[in-house]
Structure 1
């Protein structure tokens, strides 16, 4: 579990690059991307489907109109002599776009509005300007995209052929069909019976419908152009708000990877509250933590090297002198050698413990720990082993489950044991060390109080550093590596807690307090 207190120190970095305006964000990056991109795509996609729906409704209305016209003309033809049919047909003409045919019972054409001098014009696409050809190509493309119904192509040569119209179903009543003229404009045809023996067919080239659809397409093209412009602006916006910061972070990460971590200032982007800002601050904190850990490793290696020199120098001196002294001197040198070996053994053990502490605590799952039971067992075991010389340990046991925390019981026991060792080592003969555990609000407090010389206020932070050596001569240091309090502090901080030292209420000695989050 990560601890807030062991996070890397904040790295000072400029919020923006020179000349760059600071940005402020309230919505998350995910919401902004979804809203802006979906909006542009919805405008584009919706316009295409709206256009197809508009054309379909328009042609459906034209077919219904053509059916009504065919029935009206059939009724008029049935009640009028044939000499009046041209006049009736001419009355329905609009801009040379309608043709009227009447077939007898044998399928022979007996009336054609063209023969009556009424023109019906079908445009030859090969003679049209390129703009019209481009428009038809656009029509085909959009029909393919939206999956529009593919209309049957009109065959002008078959116009006088009754079988042709019969094959299209126009000899039923009512009946209508929409075809594609050669220039891909809609041709609406409808059929209706004239009396009992004749049948009428009307054709209308609805070029105005095509013009309406293309006019709508032009308007929608403007909407699409606006959508594309919006998409371009969104892309620029995203490039500024996402790509540029990410590139800055990437450059910083590459420089850290190249071993230039001490020179790199990772941008923290304090003004951003979205995912990119969180990423920037996480990378900045991670880089600072890496620097701190690198510095700590280098410092630790230097400290270990220094601490190992003293016992090794003592060993070398004793070995060199051993052959030149008498038996009594050799016995004394053997005692020195024995003490130095024990001191080296303790030092190497504590150094190994300190070096692997972080990695082990990171992987270790935390359990529910009742510190009252843990401390009671520790005191009992210390008394059994007789580790505390003539110093007594007074333990005020809390109520069961009152002082419960989440953690690794073995590591917590090691941290408290180190505090007890420190307190016992500073206590006078026949002294007393007071050990307690209680809960205050949301914290569990473990206190270790001794009757020693105490800790000066100016040294209370330094005593937790590795190989701290502020021990008066009368208390000796042969049993201590200088890592006990540093190990205790590391264990407590990895449990999301903190450790403090102060003077007890009596004013004599030192009082260490471990504060851990309570369960």
Structure 2
């Protein structure tokens, strides 16, 4: 765990740290959820906008209404041409108003929301279906049809919203508006010439209250002579009603699709955004040091998707982090203990030296101090090296290294520099082909540590075997000695830091107890493994120790 100084330095930031979980809890609608909603709803909204933009559909309905109205007007014109004209001069037939007026009214009566007018060739009004002659010659004009009944408030609001939106969009078709004081029927004069020729286009307009009105003008013909023009105007309520029904159907489908989109978005939020928030809270607890094991919820780790993989990785990272912190704490305690021993010895020797007058005893005390200083120097050097190993292995890229030449060079160096009574080193390895991925300098350090350890425990004149070979996709290097072996109870602890099992007669301060620990650190960082075991003869007696390094073959 962090020491008290670290904790005291962290306290000023605790206020800001506590605010983070509160902010996380406030994210009921997280940014990810908003993005999910936007991504899901945007295509739906564009589709609805395209469907609601019904100008083409409306134009088709109006064209059909105009065609139907033209056919009806042609029927009216044909009836008037045959039944309400005078042919005293066959070459020049003329309209008979007294016959045309009642005939026009009877023709229009079955057609709701319609008004017909009959004009002569000069454009003068002859008959109007809304004008009736009552008793005594009184003339009355029927009112225009009332507007359709008002829809409910919801439908009215929908129509108003639609119209407001449509005013913001470019319209392919726009219709003139009839003023409140104007008649439904348009001025016949602009239409007369085209109507006489039978080429008049329908005229589509809207009233001030939004009703759609369609007018067509067709000629009344007798004996191939145009005797007048029938102007038929009708309110196209069916068109507006059909458009309204289509819009409501689209909006109902949109509402259902929107509800499904929101529900699916919340489902995605539940399965993605909220688990991520829980992982963020778990990471926050780790940062604050409020959790060791089980900080990530088991339900998240059990998921079989990317969230589960992330939760598992976060949990493993937290475990590795706490293990590393525990290791650092143990290492710091071990270092303090190992440094304290020689310092205590030095302090005791100095205090004794002040009281001793015998020169011989003074020299022995000075020798003790020198040995302890040497031990401290060795210890500090190895501690510094151990602290650099992890950083170097994580920072420097590994490369292909052939171990065979390294083993040969180490064997040659040993044989060249050894004393006559020192153990011999026998190499049993090929000249090349033991290639691994690693760092040459660190691999040399591992093998030198193992050889030095074997030399320390080997008897005078003994033999050390350095064996290198390839086996099962691995490169295996073994160092065997003829020493006393390793106590069975110590086999699991021999690679721990500051392991203190040393041979008798070894010069004080020669080893710090970190060599094998550093070797394991290097080998495991290179995805390998190092083990120690005892060598035994046929009777089971220990005849030495064996250290084996296995690294993946490159």
Fold equivalence (TM over 0.5): yes
Q: Which residue of 240, 254, 260 maps to 2:270?
A: 240
Question: Deviation string for 1:415-435 (max 9, x for gaps)?
Answer: 222222222222222222222
What are the equivalent positions in structure 2 for 1:467-486 lying under 5 Å apart?
Answer: 467-475=498-506, 478-486=509-517
Q: Would you say the 8 A contact 1:318–1:333 is kept in 2? A: yes
Q: Which residue of 371, 379, 388 maps to 2:403?
A: 371
Q: Would you say the 8 A contact 2:215–2:234 is kept in 1? A: yes
Question: CA–CA distance in 2 between the matches of 1:177 and 1:212?
Answer: 20
**Mean CA deviation greater in 226-235 or 75-84:** 75-84
Correspondence for 1:249: 279
Question: Deviation string for 1:419-456 (max 9, x for gaps)?
Answer: 22222222222222222333333322222222222224
Q: Would you say the 8 A contact 1:125–1:183 is kept in 2? A: no
2:159 equivalent to 1:136: yes
Correspondence for 1:182: 208
Q: Which residue of 417, 423, 438 maps to 1:391?
A: 423
**Mean CA deviation greater in 139-148 or 276-285:** 139-148
2:343 equivalent to 1:312: yes
Correspondence for 1:417: 448
Secondary structure at 1:514's aligned position in 2? strand
What are the equivalent positions in structure 2 for 1:334-413 lying under 5 Å apart?
Answer: 334-382=366-414, 390-398=422-430, 400=432, 402-413=433-444
Correspondence for 2:63: 63
How far apart are residue 496 of structure 1 and its match? 1.8
How far apart are residue 139 of structure 1 and its match? 2.7
Distance 1:173 1:362, change over 3 A: farther
Secondary structure at 2:385's aligned position in 1? helix
Secondary structure at 1:509's aligned position in 2? strand
Distance 1:319 1:175, change over 3 A: same
How far apart are residue 118 of structure 1 and its match? 10
Distance 1:155 1:315, change over 3 A: same
Q: Would you say the 8 A contact 1:471–1:477 is kept in 2? A: no
Correspondence for 2:47: 46
Q: Which residue of 288, 296, 319 maps to 1:258?
A: 288
Distance 1:93 1:34, change over 3 A: farther
Distance 1:135 1:294, change over 3 A: closer
Secondary structure at 1:428's aligned position in 2? coil
Secondary structure at 2:497's aligned position in 1? coil
Q: Which residue of 493, 508, 518 maps to 2:543?
A: 508
How far apart are residue 466 of structure 1 and its match? 0.8
Question: CA–CA distance in 1 between the matches of 2:166 and 2:244?
Answer: 13
**Mean CA deviation greater in 464-473 or 222-231:** 222-231
Distance 1:183 1:343, change over 3 A: same
Distance 1:69 1:224, change over 3 A: closer
Distance 1:300 1:127, change over 3 A: closer
Question: Deviation string for 1:190-210 (max 9, x for gaps)?
Answer: 455666876655443222222
Correspondence for 1:518: 553
Question: CA–CA distance in 2 between the matches of 1:34 and 1:423?
Answer: 65
Unaligned runs of 5+ in 2: 1-32, 86-94, 133-139
Correspondence for 2:459: 428
Question: CA–CA distance in 2 between the matches of 1:221 and 1:243?
Answer: 30
How far apart are residue 182 of structure 1 and its match? 2.8
Secondary structure at 2:479's aligned position in 1? strand
2:509 equivalent to 1:493: no
How far apart are residue 487 of structure 1 and its match? 0.7
How far apart are residue 344 of structure 1 and its match? 1.0
Correspondence for 1:97: 113
Question: CA–CA distance in 1 between the matches of 2:470 and 2:233?
Answer: 96
How far apart are residue 65 of structure 1 and its match? 4.5
Q: Which residue of 140, 155, 165 maps to 2:178?
A: 155
What are the equivalent positions in structure 2 for 1:223-238 lying under 5 Å apart?
Answer: 223-238=253-268
Question: CA–CA distance in 2 between the matches of 1:274 and 1:33?
Answer: 22
Correspondence for 2:27: none
**Mean CA deviation greater in 91-100 or 306-315:** 91-100
Higher RCO structure, 1 or 2 (CA under 8 Å, sep 6+): 1
Q: Would you say the 8 A contact 2:204–2:213 is kept in 1? A: yes
State how many pairs are aligned: 486
Larger Rg: 1 or 2?
A: 2
Q: Would you say the 8 A contact 1:173–1:193 is kept in 2? A: no
Correspondence for 2:92: none
Unaligned runs of 5+ in 1: 1-31
Secondary structure at 1:510's aligned position in 2? strand
Secondary structure at 1:390's aligned position in 2? coil
Question: CA–CA distance in 1 between the matches of 2:190 and 2:526?
Answer: 91
Distance 1:88 1:357, change over 3 A: farther
Distance 1:126 1:354, change over 3 A: same
How far apart are residue 144 of structure 1 and its match? 5.2
Correspondence for 1:24: none
